[in-house]
Structure 1
Amino acid sequence: MLSLSIGFFQNPYTNSYVDDMKQTSVMVANYQNDLYQEIIDKKIEHEIAAQDAQIHKIWKAIPGYNGIEVDVDKSYEKMKKKGIFNENLLIYRQIKPKVHLSDLPPEPIYRGHPDKPMVSFAINVAWGNEYIPNMLTTLNKHHVKATFFLEGRWAKENPEMAKMIVDAGHEIGNHSYRHPDMSKITSASIREELAKTNDVIKATTEQKVTLFAPPSGSFRKEVVDIAAEMDMKTILWTVDTVDWQKPQPHVLIERVVSKVHNGAIVLMHPTDPTDKSLEKLILLIKEKGYSFGSVSMLLDEERLNINLRKESKE
């Protein structure tokens, strides 16, 4: 009787249903495996090799630039819900180059990596105090971080203004102590100019200096070597505002915008034409598709891509 009751309540389709579910699960697993394999097969189409730092015959030391590769597992997790390949859902990670700036012998740096769509303002300061506050306001308004290379004597005489620059979030570099022609002074004088300036900046702003901009761009190889011994990179430029000649703002703007490029270092000073040109200059450079960063940010190997940065943090 008991067996009859069990038989009476047994679903005649139970075995078939279970079999169908098992078969469906296998099919889904196989399809997902196919999706996983498709991501593997197609990932090479979306990858970019890292580029090593190098000594260029013209531009001297050039930083490396991260490559990107597809994170297959994270990409699969993004796509598995719909079960179809979608290149817009690929997740990337950055790959470091094998050779870094720190691996290269000391050489001057004129620019960032030619594939990095970033521009840096290098602002040499030995005078022009009256224009600095307004320039800082403009930079802050447009979220631009620059590198201010301070003459040591100026920093000593203007400690509050030096602190103002640091408090605004900008990078500080060394611009010698008395603005000499670095190519013509003795080895001992080179060391004194660099060390004295670093000491003043450290005492005034609590910032450790890692970058040196020789006055007027004048140097000899020994200057670069001594700066390197003091853990500083020697920085030059590829685009010059020539603002010390007091050009009309439209002349300065055209001069810069017509020459700006990936990895450009733009030389400027706190002058009246630069102050009057700065906002329009920033806007026009941004319109051309460039971002802004300090010189150290420009030399960093991080690949510039907003989506990549967001995705790499997920």
Structure 2
Amino acid sequence: MNFFVILNARKVKTTLLVVMISFFTALFLYSESAGYYPVFSTSAGPKAVYQGEKGIALTFNIGWGDVQAAPILDTLEKSKVKSATFFLSGAWAERHPDLVQRIVKQGYEIGSLGYAYKEYTEMDEPEIRRDMMRSQEVFQKLNLKKVKLLRSPTGHFDKKTLKAADSVGFTVVHWSINSNDWKSPGVEKIIQNVQGADQGDILLFHASDSAKQTAVALPNIISQLKKKGELVSVSDMLSNGKVKTTLIQ
């Protein structure tokens, strides 16, 4: 009888030990992955990131043009901006491999703006997916690491856009503050449009040829932003804190 009790006690201790090891292993794995918040793996449905928690992200869209990208890169370099994210259309990147390589050389992150700068909300899901994949093929030919971030070309997106992006491994990134620099409203107006930016904000600028005043406005903007927080890439923002997402029904 005593032998039976001792044997059962050993089994209980062994079982408890296995349970505790499993628990702490699961806790460790969770803590390792908790810093990154995938926006598509929720039961609520597909989402797009528009704001983070730590840092301030400068983002630039380039869909067309030959003139404004270089001066903006010059300004960022002179202002000692080490982190930014450029969303490039595949068609533009294909025609400007030298500028793409300069963006990479300056240490900036590259995201996709699709390939042909089409309005995704007017396309069906397979067509959207093909456009996204075509841009990815261009980036691969340019020897870029796999691009994981995507911004809808016109800024408009719907549920099928998010589903298509999810299916090919993209995270859709919107913005929390729009400079409206592409309208060329005046340097002071561009500065005013973003003066409320703070920790966690994703700022939208352009480096297409419509952004004629952006390079002039940036030094003042960058100076003010650096007083509020660290300038980071979008990927760093996503991995270093909570993110805010918007749900498309």
Bin of the TM-score, shorter chain as denominator length: 0.7 to 0.9
Match of 1:101 among 37, 40, 44: 37
- Please name the residue that 2:50 is paired with: 110
Alpha-carbon deviation of 1:232? 1.1
After superposition, residues 26-41 of structure 1 pair within 5 angstroms as: none
Matched residue SS, 2:68:
helix
RMSD value over aligned CA atoms? 1.9
1:282 matched to 2:206: no
Counterpart-to-counterpart distance in 1, 2:182 and 2:70:
18
SS in structure 1 of the partner of residue 92 of structure 2: helix
- Find the counterpart in structure 1 of residue 119 from structure 2: 181
| Equivalence for 1:144 | 82
Give, in angstroms, the shift of residue 157 of structure 1.
1.2
1:119 corresponds to 2:56: yes
* Structure 2 SS opposite 1:216: coil
Residue 212 of structure 2 aligns with which residue? 272
- Tell me, in whole angstroms, the C-alpha distance in 2 between the residues paired with 1:151 and 1:160: 15
Q: Which amino acid aligns with 1:274?
A: T
Shift, 1:302, TM fit:
5.9
Which residue is equivalent to 2:128?
A: 190
Contact kept? 1:213, 1:235, Cα under 8 Å: yes
List gaps (5 residues or longer) in structure 1: 1-94, 304-314
Which secondary structure does the structure 1 equivalent of 2:123 belong to? coil
Distance in structure 1 (CA, Å) of the matches to 2:152 and 2:34: 30
Q: Equivalent pairs: percent with the same residue? A: 27
Does the 8 A contact of 1:162 with 1:205 survive in 2?
A: no
* Structure 1 letter corresponding to 2:60: I
Cross-structure match for 2:179: 241
Contact 1:152 1:174 in 2 (8 A): yes
Q: Spell out the pairing of 1:1-314 with structure 2 (5 A cutoff).
A: 98=34, 100-102=36-38, 104-105=41-42, 106-113=46-53, 116=54, 118-141=55-78, 142-257=80-195, 259-270=196-207, 271-287=211-227, 289-301=228-240
Residues 163 and 98 of structure 1: CA distance in aligned 2, closer, same or farther (over 3 Å) = closer
What do residues 163-205 of structure 1 show as CA deviations (whole Å, max 9, x unaligned)? Answer: 1111111111110111111111011211111000011011114
Distance 1:153 1:96 in 2: 38
Measured at CA, do residues 297 and 198 of structure 1 come closer, stay the same or move farther in structure 2, by a change above 3 Å? same
Note if contact 2:35-2:239 (Cα within 8 Å) is conserved in structure 1: no
Question: SS of the residue aligned with 2:67?
Answer: helix
In structure 2, what is the Cα distance between the partners aligned to 1:171 and 1:100?
17
Q: Which 5+ residue runs of structure 2 have no aligned equivalent?
A: 1-30, 243-249
Q: Higher mean Cα deviation, 293-302 or 233-242?
A: 293-302
In structure 2, the CA distance between the partners of 1:218 and 1:207, relative to structure 1 (3 Å rule), is same
Q: CA deviation at 1:267?
A: 0.5
Q: 1:243·1:269 contact (CA, 8 Å) conserved in 2?
A: yes
Q: Give CA deviations for 1:31-70 in whole Å, capped at 9, x if unaligned.
A: xxxxxxxxxxxxxxxxxxxxxxxxxxxxxxxxxxxxxxxx
2:83/2:108 contact within 8 Å kept:
yes
